[in-house]
Structure 1
């Protein structure tokens, strides 16, 4: 008798989501964008803890200093700073020697120098507490050793003397949070509203979509201004205002998908088995609309960030000392000729985030398209 050769096991079938994940991983631009977004989010969340500067700390001696990899103060700026402090003490500086860690100098005056006035060195952002090394001529001549406070401003400082790197990262927290939260509000309202309207159909669908048309006719800026007038400017208001408008497009997209899904055999079978409307929506309709919805969400997040930046540019966004990328770009645009770094760095973060989100959206659209399987 001939030996029976077992047939090889059939390959395991892949679901639509598994196939979409594999095709998304093969899209280099989408994967690179996902990595960039992850790094940007981590930098905005944890970065301000390592910059060494509070986001609202004002350095009066470092107003509008340019970006630099080396520490401030610069050696050439120290004599002028010492001269300003000496004028407050009513003394004349001389024999100024600048070392890496301290400045040695001599203060002379016509009367005995009040040593309490040396606190002006300590109040400065450039120097620490001075140490008197010698006192001559009955206190009219003091030899001082003044430590230097070294500060790093990798992105420079703004018009108020605040570290721009810290403020850019904190602004990223606000902009990304508003983008995600407002998109979440639009996702929940839009999916529930659109699926209900599309599945119920008839007069209910007509009434619900006419409400959407009425809301479309309301000017968005006018709506936001009314909210600001009545409730003031705050973080919660921003994402509620944006999310309460952006769900309209989501509702139309989900309604269109629901109109085709509700005629499918598995939905008709569920109706014949007596499944409730809520059960059909949550188990059959909404899960099958998530493909286009996920793609639209990735495109909605940059749109919301741009809306928040636009509102902040107009002065309707977050309040000082909190900031967002739109606020920083607005401040930088007003001082672009004198301080171009105030515009360049926040704009670079915003543009990079928007490009990454759009590339990721394109990759998800290609990966979730069943016609490309």
Structure 2
């Protein structure tokens, strides 16, 4: 009697990690996903926007100071002739006839002296005209026809009090604000989490000594600390997020320490200790991952706080300096010009508030996804 056996190959199925579950819960949160899209769009605009903009962020247009936001190109039709006559007057010439043919304007001009061909420079210096030339000179060179092309420019966000394009400056400001906010937060989170987890886990005299260091640093005025850094190292963009991050980690250290004191009494931590896992391994594998919920929530609050701190330092002359700018600086300028130029406040405020709302929704989604009680 023969027995037939079949070799059944069993393919082990790959288990799902806690990070896989957290990712799925995060993607199921529509508000968090929408906020990530909004934040990604703002980030892309801040990085790529200035490269695609036809205006430099520090380019000054003297003829377009505080012009309103518009989808229509400037100059407007009613602005062309008065501007043309004003340029002719600045060139000390007399206009005898004006004509506009499409995008080209021309006029018969005269002077008591011979007309200098360099008079076209007055038109080229204007933001409204370009490619000016003198033609049809009279025999005595005291009369001629001047032609110039209308120089159309778009200011979709309007211009500021110095005649600079608000759209480009808003994008550039996004680079500065997001960079300072994210990098300073990363510095604060990295230092605070490691310091707080180590202090809480080791406990005893080590914990007491480490917390006394935090108390001493709390007693130092933040502005005094930043002023000292500026005096010793000078104004530096990188110095901004280092100074802010080097102070804001104190709150994070206290939060993580409190969480660690509770976590280290859990059974899985005691089991790891019984198995001989090192203190560093326990902190890295068990303590820090289980404090991510409060850390993420605090991070979403710290980023806007850092952005506002940067604005305050820039207002004192210790932060971002002209012609560079940030959302906080633009909002401050817009508030001063609110009565006559509301667009200077509206557009930077939209970008800043959208970023803050997006960060808050992302933080809520990450907190729910990483909460151990929901696993």
Shift of 1:279: 2.9
Please say if 1:311 is aligned against 2:296. Answer: no
Shift of 1:355: 1.1
1:80 aligned to which of 73, 79, 82: 82
Give the stretch that moved more between structures: 180-189 or 86-95: 86-95
The verdict on how the C-alpha distance between 1:287 and 1:132 changes in structure 2, with shifts beyond 3 A counting, is same
SS of aligned partner of 1:36: helix
1:117 aligned to which of 116, 119, 130: 119
SS of aligned partner of 2:136: strand
Asked if structure 1 preserves the Cα contact closer than 8 Å seen for 2:180 and 2:240, the reply is: yes
CA distance in 2: counterparts of 1:352 and 1:239, whole angstroms: 22
Q: Which runs of 5+ in 2 are unaligned?
A: 1-10
1:95 aligned to which of 94, 97, 102: 97
CA distance in 2: counterparts of 1:244 and 1:133, whole angstroms: 66
Asked if structure 2 preserves the Cα contact closer than 8 Å seen for 1:122 and 1:130, the reply is: yes
Residue in 2 that maps onto 1:58: 60
Residue in 2 that maps onto 1:206: 208
CA distance in 2: counterparts of 1:82 and 1:313, whole angstroms: 39
Asked if structure 2 preserves the Cα contact closer than 8 Å seen for 1:311 and 1:326, the reply is: no
Give the stretch that moved more between structures: 260-269 or 361-370: 260-269
Shift of 1:209: 0.9
2:219 aligned to which of 197, 217, 220: 217
CA distance in 2: counterparts of 1:72 and 1:321, whole angstroms: 24
Q: How does 1:160-239 map to 2 (within 5 A)?
A: 160-239=162-241
Q: How does 1:5-16 map to 2 (within 5 A)?
A: 14-16=16-18
TM-score when normalising by structure 1: 0.91
Residue in 2 that maps onto 1:333: 335
CA distance in 2: counterparts of 1:117 and 1:150, whole angstroms: 22
Residue in 2 that maps onto 1:4: none
Shift of 1:23: 2.3
CA distance in 2: counterparts of 1:115 and 1:291, whole angstroms: 72
SS of aligned partner of 2:107: strand
1:43 aligned to which of 40, 45, 64: 45
Q: Across the two proteins, how many residue pairs are aligned to each other?
A: 366
Shift of 1:314: 3.9
CA distance in 2: counterparts of 1:283 and 1:368, whole angstroms: 15
The verdict on how the C-alpha distance between 1:368 and 1:223 changes in structure 2, with shifts beyond 3 A counting, is same
The verdict on how the C-alpha distance between 1:202 and 1:218 changes in structure 2, with shifts beyond 3 A counting, is same
Please say if 1:259 is aligned against 2:261. Answer: yes
SS of aligned partner of 2:319: coil
Please say if 1:355 is aligned against 2:362. Answer: no
Give the stretch that moved more between structures: 291-300 or 109-118: 291-300
Residue in 2 that maps onto 1:285: 287
Deviations 1:65-121 (A, max 9, x none): 111111111221222222222123211123222343221111111222111122111
CA distance in 1: counterparts of 2:131 and 2:14, whole angstroms: 73
CA distance in 2: counterparts of 1:347 and 1:311, whole angstroms: 18
SS of aligned partner of 1:233: coil
Q: CA RMSD in A?
A: 2.3
Asked if structure 2 preserves the Cα contact closer than 8 Å seen for 1:313 and 1:329, the reply is: no
CA distance in 1: counterparts of 2:121 and 2:145, whole angstroms: 15
Residue in 1 that maps onto 2:3: none
SS of aligned partner of 1:320: coil
Shift of 1:137: 4.7
Shift of 1:222: 3.3
CA distance in 1: counterparts of 2:262 and 2:291, whole angstroms: 10
Give the stretch that moved more between structures: 251-260 or 267-276: 267-276
CA distance in 2: counterparts of 1:283 and 1:362, whole angstroms: 23
Give the stretch that moved more between structures: 79-88 or 189-198: 79-88
Give the stretch that moved more between structures: 271-280 or 101-110: 271-280
